[in-house]
Amino acid sequence: MLPLARVLLKAGTKVLLMANRGPTINDITAEELVQLLRQAAELDGLLRMAVASENIRVVCSGSDLPVIDLTQLSKEAVDATADCDLIILEGMGRAIETNLYARFTCDSLKLGMIKHPEVAAHFSKRLYDCVCKFDQAAQQASPVRVKG
């Protein structure tokens, strides 16, 4: 995601990277992502300036699953995304299996590759097909509750 983040930063966009609290399959955790961002910023002037100005930052989703239940986001994640203009959900679990039809009050982009035969059959797709779905902001988004 850092190459896409760089493109967005060059365009003057603030970038919020969200990752899981704990490890799941091969996904990066929020703690690991903070370290990776710091290391990348040491080598990249654009990232270095963005980190220093907080134009790019990492937030923990509160989850430790390969999917993301938007009704179970951490308070930190909900608060951090309150004024987003674009949400990008990446990966089969987060973008396709659980949130392909989720609507947001901002634009959204769902990106993922179908890697399980059951998911391919459910969506009438082939194994390893890629999904790229853009939705414009909805007037009324799906409700999101903050877990206590």
Residue 139, pLDDT score: 78
Segment 92-112, tens digit of pLDDT: 999 999 999 999 989 999 999
What is the rounded CA–CA span in Å between residue 97 and residue 44? 34
Residue 141, pLDDT score: 57
Residue 94, pLDDT score: 92
**What average pLDDT does this structure show over 130-134?**
96
| Residue (of 46, 40, 65) closest to 6 by Cα position | 46
**Band (144; pLDDT cuts 50, 70, 90):** low
Residue with tokens 């009050």: 105
Strands (E), 43-128: 56-60, 86-90, 107-113
Segment 24-66, tens digit of pLDDT: 888 899 999 999 999 999 999 999 999 999 999 999 999 998 8
pTM for the predicted model, two decimal places: 0.83
Residue 143, pLDDT score: 57
